[in-house]
Amino acid sequence: MSSRRRRLRILELLTFPCEGKQWRLESLAQETGESRETIFHDLRRLSLSHVPIYFDGTYRILPELPISPLRLSFQEVLLLAEIVEAPSRARGKKRTAPYKSSYENLVKKLKSAFPVSFETLWDSGPKEVSQQLLASMDGPFSQESYERLETGISSHKTVKLLTTGESTSQLVWKTCHPLLLVFHRGETSLVAYVPQLDRIRTIKGKAVCDTLETEDLFTPPVEFNYRSALHDIWGFPKPERERVRLLVTRRGFSTYGREMAAEVQPKEEGASILTLTVNHWQELLPWVLAFGDEAEVLEPQPLRNEMRRIAKGFFEKYWW
């Protein structure tokens, strides 16, 4: 698979994720038939286009990513309509291309929508140039270090970072709780809670020389919202507020439901549907867990998936 097709495939997987699928370097490598090192290289190349690729347990691309207005002509709109309808036509029938000039103009406009040159974005170039590019991006930050941070974020495990000091070039080890990894404009950054400082910090990949895994588990700060962090730190599009809906029993509502300012819709047998609007469903996770089996998450789907993951962990630990 060429680098162009492979990177298009990666963008497709991250833009239209399968339900319950966790994309990591290893799974992306299996999907594309390439090595993890190649996928790591591709993600960093793609980030040069200002596409906000980030990792919070699975790789994602912000759905609100704005693309420059294309100012399509009527002929170009018709061409796009032809492309959309193409899969529904019978296969094997040859059709002529009636919009050759429109096709050429449309390709130019699509290319111009990217903040950097289309050719610079997709073409790898000689191996030596690629290696120099990677070195200039994040210095000594390696794929192996990145994969250890993947594990730390996915499993909520503490890691140790060998980093350069803020005021000196001396190397120091820091213990941190990794929360979010971001590829942006060719750079890799880690958002982590640093216990020594008792605050959340953003650490540039250029400052990380090595990482060590530990078996110590941590609980992510309740106040941390990765979507808000992407907006506040990197200026990514501000997320829209999310709707959360729970089906709660009579007992659950009387015990926990009254404390939240939620829209209440009575149901049969004393149950209720609670509807809340929040910045992100992660804010409500501790509250939803407090209900135990007295509530069922109706939406959003990511919160249902998280509850399913937690319930599976309880089952594996306590069922015998």
Residue 129: predicted pLDDT: 43
**E strand segments, 80-138:** none
Contacts of 8 (CB under 8 A, 6+ apart): none
Contact of 179 with 191, CB cutoff 8 Å? yes
Sheet of 295-299, strand order: 263-266, 272-278, 242-248, 295-299
Instruction: Decide which of 2.60.120, 3.30.70, 1.10.357, 3.40.50 is the CATH code for 242-318.
Output: 3.30.70
Residue 179: predicted pLDDT: 93
Q: Flag residues of the chain having pLDDT under 50.
A: 90, 118, 122, 124-130, 133
pLDDT digits (tens, 9 = 90+) for 111-156: 666 555 545 554 544 444 445 545 555 555 677 888 899 999 999 9
Owner of token pair 């919070």: 56
Rounded percentage of the chain residues whose pLDDT exceeds 90 = 12
Pairwise CA distance, residues 238 & 114, whole Å: 20
What is the token pair recorded at 131? 């290696």
| Cα Rg of the chain (Å, integer) | 23
Q: What is the CATH number of domain 137-234?
A: 2.30.30
Task: Please report, for the chain, the start and end positions of each structural domain, with discontinuous segments joined by +.
Answer: 74-112, 137-234, 242-318
Residue 29: predicted pLDDT: 92
What is the token pair recorded at 176? 């941190």
Owner of token pair 């406009």: 109
Residue 319: predicted pLDDT: 75
Contacts of 117 (CB under 8 A, 6+ apart): none
Contact of 163 with 212, CB cutoff 8 Å? no
Residue 128: predicted pLDDT: 46
